[in-house]
């Protein structure tokens, strides 16, 4: 079935629209949460707007899919999806939607790291929250892949912070002399609970033009094992890497290392101007054999050290489905190897591909310890986003080991809960430990963290203790402060960190309708992610509520070009995905067990 899972970006968006139409046509009927929509005995026609679909540059057509004999049984049902193309409408049957979802359903052998939602903390008992920033975005595109196939994602596939940080927020850049990133805070009412408020702590990294990037020493480490023999794996990987090769310059160096049952160096330190030779080597890649991923990583670091550029960017891009089965296969041993190798000044980022046997836990954790970022490539459009549009963010680090610590004032806040970042939590003493590794910020990166707060005097989630002193004394001179926010970061080549401090006044509290579009977008994604996880933390909020907030922005075309066009496209896609999820569960907030 893996051979059938790669849809072009246009096909994925079309299926999202079709499922969205089903949600609207069945909104008045009850539904039971399930992994795929149930087929109905009677086909019911529905209509939906068919939006224009953007296409990436230099898209290479994928080969047609040949169905095996055991797959032809569903062919009849698939033919029932009759698409009547007019100016902007499509028609389909509910049975066809169910058949389409089942047709692309991946085997449940994918691996995700387990994590539980952050608990509510009492400020009186634990007033300080400390965590490492996270710039990974892979969870969002992986969740998008599953939703467009008509499936709810597994709970552990949804990391809310990665979904939030996927979007290109328009935060103000740091001013000259301010440092490598700007810090923005916002405080407003929570849309899913009238007795809660939301605190946003947002970072915006200084941007660097591609032309002014330091020289790049880039090693493509490509999995060509048998598990990559699928249309959504090696062919998509090849097309994505070729897009990036087209951006390289004369001062850049590119190597291509492959691994399957054995390892090989196909390109070693070629100049960015030798693109024909590099692209030719990429085109000749074929999948077959077992997966000696550990040996491949070691050889890639060897190549990176051989062509190391002092004061330049030295990075490995590991592109794989993460299915290591030969040599070093132990999860912790692989992480330790990457952790040792990063001391050489070479970073490692991961690009995930494919379905079925996908090992997302390994991809996310290797990037974490490798001082890189994890991305999941579900289409050539996503490949272009990560490797072309966001190339400077992917390659150039502007701040290392960035940590955030928030101290809440017990006279103003009784409870808090950090939304997401469950596997980025740190101990209080870790904040001042410059030896401890934390997340890095790339050029132009945005990082958003949301806290849900219960203000003093509001009904909380946790009962007060009987035998504790309830009379909190306002700290001298800080009675109006709601929280004190601190950040630590290192310059790319520094060993010691720099401290940023800023207080937050309760007077900063605003209503949701007064908050900026970026804040409303982040809150919509946070609510969407919590609904997908079935955590119950978003109260009675539904997918319709999340969609309404996601769609609450000015879509006027005036002055919107380039990044602004992408901003609108991403928000429009988000609304469609929320529609799909709502259709799959009947627009009721699912509650799943841990």
* pLDDT string in tens for the chain (594-residue length): 444 444 444 444 444 445 444 444 444 433 333 344 333 333 333 333 333 333 333 333 333 333 343 343 444 433 333 333 333 333 333 334 343 443 344 446 898 999 999 999 999 999 999 999 999 999 999 999 999 999 999 999 999 999 999 998 999 999 988 899 999 999 999 999 989 999 999 999 999 888 889 999 999 999 999 989 999 999 999 999 999 999 999 999 999 999 998 899 999 999 999 999 999 999 999 998 877 778 899 999 999 999 999 999 999 999 999 877 655 557 788 888 899 999 889 999 999 999 988 999 989 999 999 999 999 999 999 999 999 999 999 999 999 999 999 999 999 999 999 999 999 999 999 999 999 999 999 999 999 999 999 999 898 998 877 787 655 565 666 778 999 999 999 999 899 999 999 999 988 888 888 889 999 999 999 999 999 999 888 888 999 999 999 988 776 655 444 555 677 889 999 999 999 999 998 765 555 544
Quote the CA–CA distance of 131 and 203 in Å, as a whole number. Answer: 14
User: Which pLDDT belongs to residue 266?
Assistant: 97
Structural domain includes residue 592: no
Q: Are residues 481 and 554 in the same domain?
A: no
Structural domain includes residue 13: yes
Q: Are residues 222 and 202 in the same domain?
A: no
pTM for the structure as a whole: 0.80
Quote the CA–CA distance of 101 and 585 in Å, as a whole number. Answer: 14
Quote the CA–CA distance of 568 and 292 in Å, as a whole number. Answer: 42
Structure tokens at 338: 């990457």
Q: Are residues 453 and 386 in the same domain?
A: no
**Model pLDDT for residues 382-401, shown as the tens digit of each residue:** 999 999 999 999 999 999 99
Q: Are residues 354 and 432 in the same domain?
A: no
- When divided into structural domains, the chain yields a total of 3
Structural domain includes residue 532: no
Strand (E) or helix (H) holding 130? strand 128-132
- Domain boundary pick from 458, 482, 517: 517
User: Which pLDDT belongs to residue 291?
Assistant: 75
Q: Are residues 243 and 322 in the same domain?
A: yes
Quote the CA–CA distance of 302 and 554 in Å, as a whole number. Answer: 50
The residues, ordered by sequence, that sit 6+ positions from 147 with a Cβ below 8 Å of its Cβ are 16, 153, 577, 580, 581, 584
The residues, ordered by sequence, that sit 6+ positions from 542 with a Cβ below 8 Å of its Cβ are 531, 582, 587, 588, 589
Quote the CA–CA distance of 419 and 156 in Å, as a whole number. Answer: 15
User: Which pLDDT belongs to residue 473?
Assistant: 60
Structural domain includes residue 244: yes
The CATH number linked to 291 is 3.40.50.410
Q: Which residues does residue 316 pair with via DSSP β-bridges, in sequence order? A: 219, 348
Q: Are residues 297 and 230 in the same domain?
A: yes
User: Which pLDDT belongs to residue 30?
Assistant: 39
Q: Helix-strand-coil percent breakdown of the chain, rounded to 5?
A: 35, 20, 45
Structural domain includes residue 593: no
**Residues of the domain holding 216:** 210-395
Angle at 386 between CA 346 and CA 167, to 5 degrees: 115
User: Which pLDDT belongs to residue 479?
Assistant: 73
**What is Dmax (Cα atoms) for the chain?**
77
Quote the CA–CA distance of 353 and 279 in Å, as a whole number. Answer: 19
Quote the CA–CA distance of 335 and 369 in Å, as a whole number. Answer: 7
Q: Are residues 247 and 345 in the same domain?
A: yes
Question: In this structure, are residues 528 and 550 in contact, taking their beta carbons and an 8 Å threshold?
Answer: yes
């Amino acid at each position: 079935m893996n051979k059938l899972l790669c849809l072009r970006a246009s096909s994925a968006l079309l299926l999202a629209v079709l499922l969205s139409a089903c949600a609207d046509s069945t909104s008045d009927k009850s539904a039971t949460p399930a992994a795929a929509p149930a087929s109905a005995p009677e086909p019911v026609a529905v209509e939906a707007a068919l939006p224009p679909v953007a296409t990436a540059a230099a898209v290479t057509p994928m080969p047609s899919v040949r169905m095996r004999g055991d797959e032809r049984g569903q062919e009849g049902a698939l033919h029932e999806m009759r698409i009547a193309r007019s100016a902007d409408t499509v028609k389909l049957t509910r049975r066809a939607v169910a058949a389409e979802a089942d047709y692309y359903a991946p085997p449940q052998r994918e691996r995700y790291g387990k994590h539980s939602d952050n608990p509510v903390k009492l400020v009186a008992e634990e007033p300080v929250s400390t965590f490492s920033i996270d710039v990974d975005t892979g969870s969002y595109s992986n969740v998008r892949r599953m939703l467009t196939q008509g499936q709810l994602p597994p709970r552990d596939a949804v990391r809310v912070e990665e979904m939030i940080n996927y979007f290109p927020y328009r935060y103000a850049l740091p001013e000259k002399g301010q440092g490598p990133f700007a810090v923005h805070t916002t405080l407003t009412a929570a849309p899913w609970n009238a007795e809660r408020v939301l605190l946003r702590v947002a970072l915006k990294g200084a941007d660097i033009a591609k032309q002014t990037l330091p020289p790049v020493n880039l090693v493509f480490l490509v999995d060509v094992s048998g598990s990559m023999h699928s249309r959504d794996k090696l062919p998509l990987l090849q097309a994505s890497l070729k897009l990036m090769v087209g951006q390289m310059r004369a001062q850049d160096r590119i190597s291509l290392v492959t691994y399957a049952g054995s390892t090989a160096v196909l390109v070693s330190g070629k100049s960015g101007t030798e693109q024909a030779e590099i692209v030719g080597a990429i085109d000749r890649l074929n999948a077959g054999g077992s997966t000696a991923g550990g040996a491949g990583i070691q050889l890639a670091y060897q190549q990176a050290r051989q062509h190391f550029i002092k004061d330049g960017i030295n990075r490995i891009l590991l592109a794989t489905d993460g299915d290591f089965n030969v040599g070093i296969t132990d999860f912790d041993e692989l992480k330790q190897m990457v952790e040792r190798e990063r001391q050489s000044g070479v970073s490692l980022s991961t690009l995930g591909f494919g379905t079925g046997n996908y090992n997302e836990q390994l991809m996310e954790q290797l990037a974490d310890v490798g001082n890189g970022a994890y991305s999941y490539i579900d289409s050539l459009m996503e490949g272009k986003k990560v490797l072309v549009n966001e190339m400077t963010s992917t390659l150039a680090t502007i701040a290392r080991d960035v940590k955030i610590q928030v101290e809440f004032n017990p006279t103003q806040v009784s409870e808090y809960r950090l939304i997401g970042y469950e596997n980025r939590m740190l101990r209080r003493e870790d904040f001042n430990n410059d030896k401890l590794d934390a997340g890095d910020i790339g050029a132009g990166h945005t990082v958003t963290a949301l806290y849900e707060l219960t203000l003093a005097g509001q009904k909380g989630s946790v009962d007060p203790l009987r035998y504790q002193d309830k009379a909190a004394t306002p700290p001298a001179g800080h009675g109006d402060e709601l929280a004190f926010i601190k950040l630590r970061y290192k310059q790319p080549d520094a060993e010691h960190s720099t401290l940023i401090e800023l207080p937050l006044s309760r007077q900063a509290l605003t209503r949701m309708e007064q908050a900026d579009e970026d804040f409303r977008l982040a809150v919509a994604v946070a609510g969407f992610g919590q609904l997908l996880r079935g955590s119950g933390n978003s109260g009675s909020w539904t997918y319709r509520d999340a969609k309404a907030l996601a769609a609450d922005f000015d879509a006027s075309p005036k002055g919107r070009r380039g990044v602004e066009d992408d901003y609108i496209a991403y928000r429009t896609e988000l609304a469609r995905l929320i529609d799909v999820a709502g259709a799959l569960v009947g627009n009721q907030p699912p509650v799943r067990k841990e």
